[in-house]
Structure formats: C-alpha cells, structure tokens
C-alpha cells in the first residue's frame, strides 16, 4: 500500500527569500526610526541588512516600497482570518470578524508605526500610498475568491475602496487623538476603531447615537446584527 505524501512546507529557497525580504524591511524601518524621514538611502539599508544593492532591487522597486512592506504582515494575517469565515457570511461581517480575531493589539503595530512615521512627511507619502494599494489589491483578491471570478470588477473595486477608506478614517482619527503613541493601550484603541469602522460601513453609515467607536462590546453587537449589503 502506497501512502500519499503529506503536503510539503516552504522550500529552503523560499524560506531564504522570505528571510532576506524581512531583513531589508526591518533595516529600512530601523533607519526610519533612528535617522528620521529623508535621512537615509538605499545604500544605508543594504549596509544595515547585509545585502547588495542588486539584491535590494530584486525585492523592492524603491526605498518607499521597502518601507511600505512593513504593513504587509498585518494585512496577510487579517486575510488569513477572513478566509476562515463562513462562505455565506457577508463580506463586511467577515472583515469585521477577521479584525476581531486579531486579538493582540500589537498586531496593528507595524501599520500604525508606518502611518505615524510617514503621516506628516510628504517625501514619504508614497510609502503610505503603496501600503494602502497593497491592502486594496489583497482585499480585491480575497473578495473575488469568496464571490467567484464572474463578480463585477466595479463591485470589487468599489468594495475594496470603501474598506480602505474606512481603514484610513480609523487611522486618521486614532492618530489625531493619540499621536505617535504605540503603547498596547493606544494600539487597542486603533484596533477597535478599525473594527467599528467596518461596522459603520456595514450599517450603511445610518445616523445613530452609537455610530462612533465606543467599546469592544458595541463592536461585537454590531458584528452579530450587521445587515450590510456586501
């Protein structure tokens, strides 16, 4: 009797590539923290990461793209949770539940830090834009996977754009209130704002005394009773 082979994990080559990419991203973020915006170059990143300039450009098209990639991990984890949701659940209910499943407030730290460090520096606005564009593309792909390949592209892009706009709103309000505070308490507020923003979108932004982020219990209630059209 021949036993079927178990699915193999990532190859050594894939693991090495992931490690190289991560080391470049980490070096870029560390330099942004210590040197400040506009005070380091691709050459500084490659020296810190211990890779060549050619290797850097094999992974990233620019310094800004390397910085933007710090947000990839958050989106990837959120989408993992999204794909675990029931197929007959509405898109926005699944999105809200996926965010709630990321219970550790630190899960939003990379995206929050990138937003904080680049928000008021227009020279690095492209990093923030690239991060949001990555998120948009991932949302479109995930929604298409849920709804099928024949789903209207207008629908998919409008949906993704609405979700991203709510994410931006949550980040903007959080930053206005908390500034560059990346403590666990502050990040818990940001996580809740992201959850509640999905609830507002799902409810069609109906005017209500409870239409602003309040507490985790309110978000859970919104998730269970949402009647969004997506």
Give buried/exposed letters for 183-214 (b at 16+ CB in 10 A, else e). Answer: eeebbbbbbbbbbbbbbbbbbeeeeeeeeebe
Per-residue tokens: 39: 């005070």
Residue 223 buriedness (CB in 10 A; 0-12 / 13-18 / 19+): buried
Mean predicted confidence (pLDDT) in 111-116: 87
Whether the pLDDT of residue 31 is over 70: the answer is yes
How is 141-208 classified by DSSP, letter by letter?
Answer: HHHHHHH-TTS-HHHHHHHHHHHHHHHHHHHHHHHHHHTT--SHHHHHHHHHHHHHHHHHHHTTT---
Entry pTM: 0.77
pLDDT at 178 over 50: yes
Can you tell me which residue has the tokens 């999105």? 95
Quote the pLDDT of residue 228: 41
Model confidence over 37-91: pLDDT tens digits?
888 999 999 999 999 999 999 999 999 889 888 888 888 889 999 999 998 999 9
pLDDT band at 102 (very low <50, low <70, confident <90, very high): confident
pLDDT range class, residue 171, cuts 50, 70, 90 = very high
Averaged pLDDT, 189-212: 81
Q: Does pLDDT of 222 surpass 80? A: no
Contacts of 226 (CB under 8 A, 6+ apart): 90, 92, 93, 96, 199, 202, 203
Confidence of residue 124 (pLDDT cuts 50, 70, 90): confident
The rounded distance, in Å, linking the Cα atoms of 7 and 187 is: 37
User: Cα–Cα distances in Å, from 227 out to 57, 81, 210?
Assistant: 45, 20, 16
pLDDT, residue 51, reads 96
Output the pLDDT for position 8: 62
Counting every residue written for the chain, the total comes to 230
The mean predicted confidence, pLDDT, of the chain is 84
Handedness of CA 181, 187, 192, 197 (dihedral sign): positive
Angle between helices 72-83 and 109-118 (to 10 degrees): 140
């Amino acid at each position: 009797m021949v036993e079927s082979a178990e699915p193999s994990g990532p190859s050594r080559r894939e693991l090495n590539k992931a490690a190289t990419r991560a080391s470049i991203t980490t070096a870029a973020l560390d330099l942004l923290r210590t040197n400040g915006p506009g005070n380091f170059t691709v050459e500084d990143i490659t020296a810190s990461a211990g890779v060549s300039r050619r290797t850097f450009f094999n992974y990233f098209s620019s310094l800004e793209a390397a910085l933007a990639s710090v947000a990839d991990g958050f989106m990837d984890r959120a989408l993992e949770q999204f794909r675990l949701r029931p197929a007959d659940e509405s898109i926005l209910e699944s999105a809200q539940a996926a965010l709630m499943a990321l219970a550790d407030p630190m899960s939003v730290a990379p995206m929050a830090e990138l937003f904080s460090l680049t928000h008021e520096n227009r020279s690095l606005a492209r990093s923030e834009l690239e991060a949001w564009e990555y998120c948009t593309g991932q949302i479109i792909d995930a929604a298409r996977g849920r709804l099928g390949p024949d789903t209207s592209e207008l629908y998919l892009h409008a949906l993704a754009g609405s979700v991203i706009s709510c994410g931006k709103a949550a980040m903007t309000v959080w930053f206005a209130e908390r500034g560059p505070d990346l403590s666990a308490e502050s990040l818990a507020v940001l996580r809740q704002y992201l959850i509640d923003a999905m609830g507002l979108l799902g409810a069609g932004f109906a005017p209500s005394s409870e239409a602003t982020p309040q507490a985790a219990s309110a978000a859970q209630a919104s998730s269970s009773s949402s009647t969004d059209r997506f």
